[in-house]
Structure 1
């Protein structure tokens, strides 16, 4: 990953956005759901939140942050789906 110069507002906003996604994960999609759709949604939300937070910590450029978030969210969704099957 390429690093860009530190921008406290941008990086802090990404970390806070990722943290807010994790909080939303625990409030919107409860862990005891039985439906597979809810579990896949939890996987996407968890993967996306963690990767957005990582993009802020590691100062990733915007384009790489978007690709990282999409790839990690899709990976967690597929992993959750494979676990359910």
Structure 2
């Protein structure tokens, strides 16, 4: 027997985001409450956010920096691990 009880959760979101998400879930036969419950269950199941959370700007910055360093190494401008021996 499940002794859990439902509670109300209240939070603020952008109105347009809410409308767009509601339309998507409605097309899937879901309402926002059910979709959010599914999100919570999946969060519990995976032990974290159930999708990749990344900062694409940071990734682009890091990628650009790595490319610059690699180019510098290839041009002999930065020491490589072999240079230390």
Task: Report if TM-score (shorter chain) is over 0.5.
Answer: no
* Pair member with larger Rg: 2
Task: With a CA cutoff of 8 Å and minimum separation of 6, indicate the structure with the bigger relative contact order.
Answer: 1
